[in-house]
Copies of this chain bind each other. A is one copy, B any other.
Amino acid sequence: AKHLKRESMARYLVSILTGIGTAIIALAIKFSIHYLADIKFGLIGDLMTKCSHTGCTYLPLLAFVGVNLILTFIGSWMVTYIEPAAMGSGIPQIKCYLNGVRIPGLVSLKALIVKATGVILSVLGGLACGKEGPMIHSGAAVAAGISQGRSLVLKRDFKIFRYFRSDTEKRDFVAAGAAAGVSAAFGAPIGGVLFSLEEGASFLYQTLTWRMVAASVTATLTINIVVSLVHGHPENLSEPGLISFGQFSDIYYLSVELPLFLMQGLIGGIFGAVYVHLNYKLTVFRRAYITEKWMKLLEACIVAVISALMHFMFVWASNDCTDITPHGAHVMTVQGFCPDGKHSSMATIFMKAPEGSLIGMLHNDIKYYEPLGLLIAMVFYFLLATWTYGISVSSGLFIPSLLIGAMWGRLYGIGVSYFVPSAAAHIGKYALIGAACNLSGAVRMTISLTVIVIECTGDITFGMPMLLCMMLSKYSADFFNKGIYDTHIELMGVPLLEWEPPELCATVKAREVMNAPVVVLKPLETVGRILDVLKEEPHMGFPVVASYDPENARQGNTFGRLQGLMTRSQLILLLHERVYKDNKRDLDISFEDIEAKLRNVKGIDIPDNDRELMIDLRSYMNPTPFSVSTNVSLPRMFKLFRGLGLRHLIVVNDKNEVEGIVTRKDLAKYRAHGELGKIKLHHLEVVQ
């Protein structure tokens, strides 16, 4: 019982360390971007102002485009050539990982470094992206690294936490890490836990939830303490995450406003559906034509140049010089091309890291932005953000989605204020609802997202209308297509199992789904046959049967009575350690350690005269693998896989003889497809 206590304590320790580690990454990203962005935009802003007098407009333009291009180039090069697993926000990949799909290198130290550095470069490089999504991937990678007590990339093994080296344990830690990532990004510890529950954890149980809470709380607390210290108010902890929506002084709602907000939910749903549709088409195009690494790099560079040109153009071309003071005394205004004493409101959008643009959009006075300019800027930024998510850089889509929503929300508020002039004083409310609905329409995770937005806003009275609008936004968008993450997962062709078995598949039986013939092993096998099987067959699991008649098997009949299951990695380990029948011994090394040492069978050198020696599999196999009868329905198998996190399910006849084997991929092929209110069952192409 003692070692159980120790392991349980160690699990909490790992969760707390994960929280601290994630916070450190988040802080590094936050401060790098903050200070470097100030320097960059300061220099370029000064150049602009100088040149608006002397006419050297090309100088700030060149500087802006040049700097952005170089930064994006480096970031994209790292992602494209060093670690492609660090691409995008990583949320679809983490979702798959938590679902039980293996994605090599996803939570490695290399991916973490490229992801974190990459997102700094992308944001500084002026792309329409945020730094929040990648925090979730980073948190997951931190959790994986700490819990395993080793790095496969560094080839260092610290020999701690070795009892956590099973797939399930690691996955649980990664779920806690993802929660810590959300918590660090948004200062939303509860939202973080809900995010992991909603998107991830296959088989939920309570102690795992507590560990997620521990990781989340530690992450946001660490950030809060450090940032409050750096900002010089250690007594007042008020900086819980990477982003805050700023202080709303008087956020309340009247019941007559509810319909107005609900309308925004609908708009958000439409924006979200269009966003997903365009991004889907672009991704399909990219699949077909942008196949080489240099092409991906080139695309990222083109996006960087176009973004820079567009940002610059808006500041240069718009005649929106204002002397209204923007929200927040410490906000740096950019004079841009405006006469002295005035500043450019477009520069408040485009000459800032996007978090700053968002806060301005939520809080500035109604007259601060010129409506027509805002509308045009919104459309362009929308297209830019749609293009950006999917190029080969490390980037998140939360902030651009929120910013676009805040832009149209503000326009909506301006519209409302024509009819109800008193609404003008509360324009920020419409911008906030717009931001929330736009994000919800794009990603479609309503509960966790609502909690995240509420925690970000720091106000709960507004939670109820927000929840209603975000639900409406999700449902109206769901009518047209799936969320952006699920769309990308489907495009990846990954065998993700959804929460419920697809509809219309109740009549599909195990017999139709299973793979047959099956490669089976006998309890006593020769080294030679095992080696041949491993070399010839790509399968990950092999049933062990009492007796086995190859002739019978070839005729497509049964394959003997089921005795157990050997996994591929177990077999490789047995061969590698030469644990033959006559020198049977306890293995010092655990089966979970194997992937570190040997990734495939080719590295194993077996002398020819060992081929006839026997291995007794009975001591090593799983003697009670899950099995079902040939008549079991697909929904039931689905529940087994989903509920228990299985990888293989053996199909037996009523004499307990092996008939076939079902893997996760076989089930993931069945997808019920909902579109425009209709459901149909279709087969998905799954990568092998």
> Closest Cβ of chain B: how far from A100's Cβ, in Å?
14
| Chain B positions within 8 Å of A207 at CB level | 499-500
A62 touches B (CB below 8 Å): no
Contact A4 B679 (CB under 8 A): yes
Task: Give Cα A628–Cα B210 distance, bound, in whole angstroms.
Answer: 32
A235 touches B (CB below 8 Å): yes
| Chain B positions within 8 Å of A467 at CB level | 189-190, 213, 217
Contact B234 A255 (CB under 8 A): yes
A644 touches B (CB below 8 Å): yes
Contact A446 B655 (CB under 8 A): no
Within 8 A of B (CB), among A542-582: 546, 561-563
> Closest Cβ of chain B: how far from A489's Cβ, in Å?
15
Contact B217 A236 (CB under 8 A): no
Within 8 A of B (CB), among A631-666: 631-633, 636, 639-640, 643-644, 652, 654-656
Decide yes or no: A217 and B464 within 8 Å by CB, A235-B256, A624-B633 being known contacts.
yes
A106 touches B (CB below 8 Å): no
Decide yes or no: A500 and B190 within 8 Å by CB, A234-B255, A255-B235, A467-B213 being known contacts.
no
| Chain B positions within 8 Å of A446 at CB level | 210, 213
Task: Give Cα A457–Cα B217 distance, bound, in whole angstroms.
Answer: 20
Decide yes or no: A237 and B220 within 8 Å by CB, A4-B503, A203-B643, A624-B633 being known contacts.
no
A42 touches B (CB below 8 Å): no
A46 touches B (CB below 8 Å): no
Contact B236 A252 (CB under 8 A): yes
A504 touches B (CB below 8 Å): yes
Decide yes or no: A464 and B629 within 8 Å by CB, A1-B504, A447-B213 being known contacts.
no
Choice from B236, B468, B629 contacting A254 with Cβ under 8 Å: B236
Contact A447 B655 (CB under 8 A): no
Report the 5 A-B pairs with minimum CB-CB distance, sorted nearest first: A643-B643, A205-B499, A656-B656, A206-B499, A624-B632
| Chain B positions within 8 Å of A105 at CB level | none
Task: Give Cα A458–Cα B464 distance, bound, in whole angstroms.
Answer: 11
> Closest Cβ of chain B: how far from A429's Cβ, in Å?
14
A253 touches B (CB below 8 Å): yes
> Closest Cβ of chain B: how far from A306's Cβ, in Å?
38
> Closest Cβ of chain B: how far from A391's Cβ, in Å?
30
> Closest Cβ of chain B: how far from A506's Cβ, in Å?
10
Task: Give Cα A463–Cα B237 distance, bound, in whole angstroms.
Answer: 12
| Chain B positions within 8 Å of A362 at CB level | none
Contact A237 B253 (CB under 8 A): yes
Binds B, one of A63-71, A412-420, A448-456: A448-456
Task: Give Cα A447–Cα B5 distance, bound, in whole angstroms.
Answer: 23
Interface centre among A255, A455, A652 (most CB of B within 10 A): A255
A623 touches B (CB below 8 Å): yes
| Chain B positions within 8 Å of A463 at CB level | 189-190, 455
Contact B656 A654 (CB under 8 A): yes
Q: List 9 A-B contacts (CB under 8 A).
A: A4-B503, A5-B677, A5-B679, A197-B197, A203-B639, A213-B467, A221-B464, A235-B255, A238-B252
Q: Which residues of A contact B (CB under 8 A)?
A: 1, 4-5, 189-190, 193-194, 197-198, 203-207, 209-210, 213-214, 217, 220-221, 224-225, 228, 234-238, 240, 252-256, 446-447, 450-451, 454-455, 457-461, 463-464, 467-468, 471, 499-500, 503-504, 546, 561-563, 623-624, 628-629, 631-633, 636, 639-640, 643-644, 652, 654-656, 677-680
| Chain B positions within 8 Å of A213 at CB level | 446-447, 467, 471
Task: Give Cα A189–Cα B465 distance, bound, in whole angstroms.
Answer: 12
Task: Give Cα A474–Cα B225 distance, bound, in whole angstroms.
Answer: 24
| Chain B positions within 8 Å of A193 at CB level | 447
> Closest Cβ of chain B: how far from A238's Cβ, in Å?
7
| Chain B positions within 8 Å of A457 at CB level | 460
In the complex, what residue of chain B is closest to A257 when comparing beta carbons?
Answer: B235
Task: Give Cα A607–Cα B457 distance, bound, in whole angstroms.
Answer: 73
In the complex, what residue of chain B is closest to A203 when comparing beta carbons?
Answer: B643
Contact B504 A225 (CB under 8 A): no
| Chain B positions within 8 Å of A679 at CB level | 1, 4-5
| Chain B positions within 8 Å of A631 at CB level | 623-624
Task: Give Cα A282–Cα B459 distance, bound, in whole angstroms.
Answer: 43
| Chain B positions within 8 Å of A451 at CB level | 190, 451
| Chain B positions within 8 Å of A209 at CB level | 198, 447
In the complex, what residue of chain B is closest to A236 when comparing beta carbons?
Answer: B254
Beyond A623-B631, A643-B644: 4 further Cβ-contacts under 8 Å?
Answer: A205-B500, A221-B468, A623-B629, A655-B655
| Chain B positions within 8 Å of A561 at CB level | 654-655
Task: Give Cα A623–Cα B463 distance, bound, in whole angstroms.
Answer: 49
In the complex, what residue of chain B is closest to A653 when comparing beta carbons?
Answer: B656
> Closest Cβ of chain B: how far from A683's Cβ, in Å?
16
Task: Give Cα A528–Cα B624 distance, bound, in whole angstroms.
Answer: 38
| Chain B positions within 8 Å of A624 at CB level | 628-629, 631-633, 636
| Chain B positions within 8 Å of A468 at CB level | 217, 221
| Chain B positions within 8 Å of A459 at CB level | 459-460
In the complex, what residue of chain B is closest to A624 when comparing beta carbons?
Answer: B632
Task: Give Cα A414–Cα B209 distance, bound, in whole angstroms.
Answer: 36
Choice from B190, B499, B546, B644 contacting A640 with Cβ under 8 Å: B644
Contact A654 B203 (CB under 8 A): no
> Closest Cβ of chain B: how far from A467's Cβ, in Å?
6
| Chain B positions within 8 Å of A235 at CB level | 254-256
| Chain B positions within 8 Å of A656 at CB level | 652, 654-656
Task: Give Cα A503–Cα B209 distance, bound, in whole angstroms.
Answer: 18
In the complex, what residue of chain B is closest to A680 when comparing beta carbons?
Answer: B1
> Closest Cβ of chain B: how far from A448's Cβ, in Å?
10
| Chain B positions within 8 Å of A636 at CB level | 624
Contact B225 A255 (CB under 8 A): yes
Task: Give Cα A624–Cα B236 distance, bound, in whole angstroms.
Answer: 62
